[in-house]
């Protein structure tokens, strides 16, 4: 398993989060993404952080795997924080180094935005880490079910989203394998001018696109060979059911939402 990218990977485990109905996970994550932008105090951010970290711990996904999987976004998080230190010029001056002043409001805003970004990536990643692609497809299809009345291709859309998530780690592994193969042939991706680096990417992109199209063709042929003709008239092996665990998580999340709005400054 490629640990450098956690989006799209599923980690099997016996946890409370794994046992939840996938529709409940999608609904809670959707509203979590919305309410995280309403936090504006230490207490409200604290509640969201406790909820996100507790959810990650309850999933029984190895913490080392999650943190290593978040490595690609650490640069953006740190860059966002530093950008606010440079741009924001409000509040008291906390530090002055050779004319470069760090303001209190810059530190506060930088920390808040960086924490938001971290929580969004952490919580949304739990969806694919604890839910199989088939469950995600069924959940999206159920949630978008009312759109079928206006002849919207709900099943096809859910299937495309599920396949896309499933192939993210596959394409990342393929990219890593091709880049190592090209590097062994003398292709240098790290040194030289920008133009040279851009030219070096071509030997990486061409086989990657060829491999992606080949996999897509093989998948289409496999689905056709198994009699796939769209969602019309199809039945499901497992029916989605909302259980006690889902209602308990809903209640806890509702308490977090109420606490967030009560602690807003």
Return d(Cα 136, Cα 198) in angstroms, integer.
37
pLDDT score for 32 = 94
Return d(Cα 189, Cα 254) in angstroms, integer.
49
Return d(Cα 210, Cα 148) in angstroms, integer.
35
Residue owning tokens 């509203």:
31
Structure tokens at 159: 């299937």
User: Going by C-beta distance under 8 Å and a sequence separation of 6 or more, which residues neighbour residue 261?
Assistant: 38
User: Going by C-beta distance under 8 Å and a sequence separation of 6 or more, which residues neighbour residue 40?
Assistant: 112, 264, 265
Please, are residues 104 and 91 in contact by the beta-carbon 8 Å criterion? yes
User: Going by C-beta distance under 8 Å and a sequence separation of 6 or more, which residues neighbour residue 244?
Assistant: none
Return d(Cα 85, Cα 111) in angstroms, integer.
10
Q: What is the pLDDT of residues 146-169, one digit of tens each?
A: 888 888 888 888 888 778 877 877
Residue owning tokens 């978008």:
144
Neighbours of 73 (CB within 10 A): 16
Q: What is the pLDDT of residues 189-209, one digit of tens each?
A: 677 677 777 777 887 888 888
User: Going by C-beta distance under 8 Å and a sequence separation of 6 or more, which residues neighbour residue 111?
Assistant: 81
Residue owning tokens 């008239």:
233
**Torsion of the alpha carbons at 164, 166, 171 and 172, rounded to the nearest 10:** 120
Give pairs for 161-165: CB < 8 Å, separation 24+.
161/136, 161/137, 162/133, 162/134, 162/136, 162/137, 163/133, 163/219, 165/7, 165/8, 165/128, 165/133, 165/136
Closest by Cα among 33, 235, 212, 254 to 122: 33
Diameter over CA atoms, the chain: 71
Per residue of the chain (265 residues), give pLDDT as tens: 444 556 667 888 889 999 999 999 999 999 999 999 888 888 999 999 999 999 999 998 888 777 776 777 788 888 888 888 888 787 777 777 666 778 888 888 888 888 998 899 888 888 888 988 888 888 888 888 888 888 888 888 888 877 887 787 788 888 888 888 888 877 776 776 777 777 778 878 888 888 888 888 888 898 888 877 766 666 666 778 888 999 999 999 999 999 998 888 7
């Amino acid at each position: 398993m490629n640990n450098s990218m956690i989006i799209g990977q599923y980690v099997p485990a016996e946890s409370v989060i794994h046992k939840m109905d996938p529709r409940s996970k999608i609904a809670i994550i959707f509203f979590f993404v919305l309410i995280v932008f309403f936090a504006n105090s230490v207490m409200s951010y604290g509640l969201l952080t406790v909820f996100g970290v507790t959810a990650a711990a309850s999933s029984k996904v190895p913490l080392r795997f999650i943190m290593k999987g978040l490595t690609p976004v650490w640069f953006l998080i740190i860059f966002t924080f530093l950008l606010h230190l440079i741009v924001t010029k409000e509040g008291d001056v906390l530090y002055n180094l050779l004319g470069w002043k760090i303001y209190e409001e810059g530190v506060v805003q930088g920390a808040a935005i960086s924490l938001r970004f971290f929580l969004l990536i952490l919580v949304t990643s739990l969806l694919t880490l604890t839910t199989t692609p088939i469950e995600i497809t069924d959940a999206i299809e159920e949630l978008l079910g009312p759109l079928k009345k206006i002849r919207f291709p709900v099943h096809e859309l859910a299937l495309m989203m599920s396949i896309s998530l499933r192939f993210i780690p596959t394409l990342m592994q393929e990219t890593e394998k091709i880049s190592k193969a090209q590097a062994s042939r003398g292709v240098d991706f790290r040194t030289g001018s920008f133009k040279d680096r851009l030219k070096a990417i071509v030997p990486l992109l061409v086989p990657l696109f060829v491999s992606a199209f080949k996999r897509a063709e093989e998948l289409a042929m496999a689905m056709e060979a198994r009699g796939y003709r769209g969602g019309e008239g199809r039945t499901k092996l497992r029916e989605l059911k909302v259980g006690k665990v889902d209602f308990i998580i809903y209640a806890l999340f509702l308490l977090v939402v109420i606490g967030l709005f009560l602690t807003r400054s």
